[in-house]
Amino acid sequence: MKKHDVIIIGGGPGGSTAATVLARAGLDVGVIEREEFPRFHIGESLLPATMPLFKEIGFYDTLNNGNYIPKWGARFIDYRNDDEIYFGFTEGLNRDIPMAFEVERSKFDRDLLDHARKSGATVYQPEMVKDITITDQGASLRTDKDEYSCAYLMDISGRDSLLGLKMKIRQANKSLNNVAVFSHYTDVERAPGRDEGDIIIGLLPQRSWTWMIPFKGNVTSVGVVRSSEFFDGEKDWGAYLDRTLKQSPSVARRMQNAQQAMDVHRIGNYSHTCETFFGDRWILSGDAALFLDPIFSSGVHMSVSSSKMAAEALLQIFPHKGSFKDNGVGQAYEARVRLGAKRFYGLISMFYQGTFVADMKKTLERENMRKGFTSAVAGDVWNEDNFLFSKSVL
C-alpha cells in the first residue's frame, strides 16, 4: 500500500493547483488521475482574475509562453437584433487583471499537471479510483492498479464528484438544467488585431446562447447551450448545432468558411452543488463541490480558486493532524467558495432573463457600473471593494 500525506483525486486544473500548493509547502502529495493526458475537455476560456493565482504558484510563465492566445475582453451579441456590448478587462476595478488566455484544454491541463509534478507531487496516471473508505486517520483508496492510504483526502474529480455521489450529497441545480452541444472548427472568421482572442457570446431565443472561443492558430471552439426542456427529441447533434448556428446571420457570416475539425460533443445536466464541502479529513473543491453554468467562463476559475483555498485550509490543520471541523476552518472555506458562486449566480440570473445585452448597454454607460460589472465578468468575485457586492446587486 502506498502512503501519502494527501491524496488528490483528479489531475485537472483544480487538482493540479492544489497539488502544487501542497507540494511546494513540503507535503507528500499523490495525485490520481483516471485519464492519460493530453485529452479533450471543455471549459476553454480563462478569466483575468485567475492570473494572479497562476503567478503565485509559478505557472504563469508557462501560460504566457506564446502557446495560448491572449483574451482582452468578452463580447455579448443579441442575435435577434445584432445589438452588442463589450467588456474590456482593462476597464475593470483591478488594474492587475487586464487579460487572460483562451486555451485548448488538452494542452493547458497537461502543462498544469506537469507543473504539479515539477513542484514535487507524485502523479498516478492513468489510474481509476474504484473504492474509497473514510477512516479516523484519513482515507484508504483502491484503484484499478494499487491501494493507497492518506491522512487527508481531496476530491477534485470534477463533475464525477466521487465522494459527493458516494455520500449522496450531490444535487442537480434544476434551474440551470441545460444542454451544451459543441465542436472545434478551422477558418472561423475572427476579429482583427488584439481582439482576435476575445470570446463572443450570442443570445438566441428560448434561453439558448452560442459561444466562440478562438485558440492560438486556426482552431475555434464553437458551441450552443440550450435549456433541456427545448432540447428534448434532438437525435442528430451535428445537425442541431449547424441548424442553430445558422439562426443568427452574424454567426452564419463568421462560420461561412468554417470546417469541422472534431466530432460534435454533447454534455447535459451539468449544473450541481454538494450539500457540504468537507468532513474531518476530507474536502471537496472545484466541480466536485459545485458547478454553475459556463456562460461567464467561471468553471476553471472557480475550480483552481476553490482548490487553492482548500489546500490552504489543509495547511492550517496539517501541523497538528487536525480536522477540517476544528476552529471553523472548513466552514470558513466553504462559506468563501459559496460566496463567489453566489456572485457568479447573480450574473447568470441576469443573463437568463433574456434582455442582458439591452439592460447592460444602459448600465455600462455609467462609469462606476461599467467598472463594477467588468470586474465581476473578469471573475473578481471576492473583491470586496466592488460596490456591486456591498450593495447586494450581485
C-alpha–C-alpha distance, residues 94 and 48, integer Å: 10
Highest mean pLDDT among 190-194, 225-229, 238-242, 302-306: 302-306
- Beta pairing class for 83-88 and 100-102: unpaired
Are 195 and 106 found together in one domain? no
What three-state secondary structure class fits 262? Answer: coil
166, 208 in Cβ contact below 8 A? no
Do 104 and 183 lie in one domain? The reply is no
Are residues 167 and 210 part of one domain? no
Judge contact between 345 and 292, C-beta under 8 A. yes
Q: How far apart are CA 198 and CA 194, in angstroms?
A: 8
Question: Please, what is the average pLDDT of the chain?
Answer: 94
Predicted local distance difference test score (pLDDT) of residue 231 = 67
Q: How far apart are CA 112 and CA 121, in angstroms?
A: 12
CB distance 218 to 69 below 8 Å:
no
Q: Compute the radius of gyration of the chain from its Cα atoms.
A: 21
What would the grid cell of residue 69 be? 492566445
- 384 and 289 both lie in a single domain: yes
Q: What per-residue confidence (pLDDT) applies to 342?
A: 96
Q: Which of 268, 298, 333 is the last residue of a domain?
A: 268
CB 94 within 8 A of CB 383: yes
Same structural domain, 57 and 104 = yes
Q: Do the beta carbons of residue 156 and residue 10 sit within 8 Å?
A: yes
Q: State whether 133 and 160 are in the same domain.
A: yes
Residue 82 has pLDDT above 90, yes or no: no
Tens of pLDDT, residue by residue over 295-317, are 999 999 999 999 999 999 999 99
Mean pLDDT in residue range 336-358 = 94
Q: Report d(CA 132, CA 149) in Å as an integer.
A: 10
Domain that residue 202 falls in: 178-268
Q: Which amino acid is at 288?
A: A
pLDDT in tens, 352-381: 998 999 999 999 999 999 999 999 999 999
How many domains is the chain partitioned into structurally? 2
Mean pLDDT of 341-345: 96
What lies within 8 Å, CB to CB, of 112 at 6+ separation is 13, 16, 17, 59
Considering 268, 296, 326, which residue would you say is the last residue of a domain?
Answer: 268
Residues 336 and 295 in one domain: yes
pLDDT at residue number 218: 96
Same-domain check for residues 289 and 255: no
CATH code: domain of residue 248: 3.30.9.100
What are the backbone angles phi and psi of residue 183, rounded to the nearest 5°? Answer: -160, 180
**Nearest CA to 314 among 325, 304, 303?**
325
Q: Which conformational region is residue 347 in: left (phi greater than 0), alpha (psi within -120 to 50 degrees), or beta? A: alpha
Which percentage of the chain shows pLDDT scores above 70?
99
Euclidean distance between CA atoms 283 and 153, whole angstroms: 7
Return the C-alpha torsion angle 365, 371, 376, 378, nearest 10.
110
| pLDDT score at 229 | 76
Neighbours of 181 (CB within 10 A): 21
Q: Are residues 250 and 289 in the same domain?
A: no
How does residue 230 score in pLDDT terms, banded at 50, 70 and 90? confident
Q: Is residue 306 a contact partner of residue 312, using CB atoms and an 8 Å limit?
A: no
C-alpha count within 13 angstroms, C-beta hemisphere, residue 190: 24
With a CB cutoff of 8 Å and minimum separation 6, the contacts of 265 are 40, 42, 181, 182, 183, 237
Lowest mean pLDDT among 171-175, 217-221, 330-334, 350-354: 171-175
What confidence category does residue 269 fall into, taking pLDDT thresholds of 50, 70 and 90? low
Give per-residue pLDDT as tens, 108-157: 999 999 999 999 999 999 999 999 999 989 999 999 999 999 999 999 99
Q: Mean pLDDT throughout 156-172?
A: 92
- Which pLDDT tens digit goes with each residue over 270-283? 789 999 999 999 99
**The one-letter amino acid at 303:** S
* In a shared domain, residues 278 and 263: no
Shared domain for 199 and 345, answered yes or no, is no
Q: Which of 268, 285, 314 is where one domain is finished?
A: 268
Mention every residue, 6+ apart, whose C-beta is less than 8 A from residue 322: 316, 329
Domain CATH for 166: 3.50.50.60
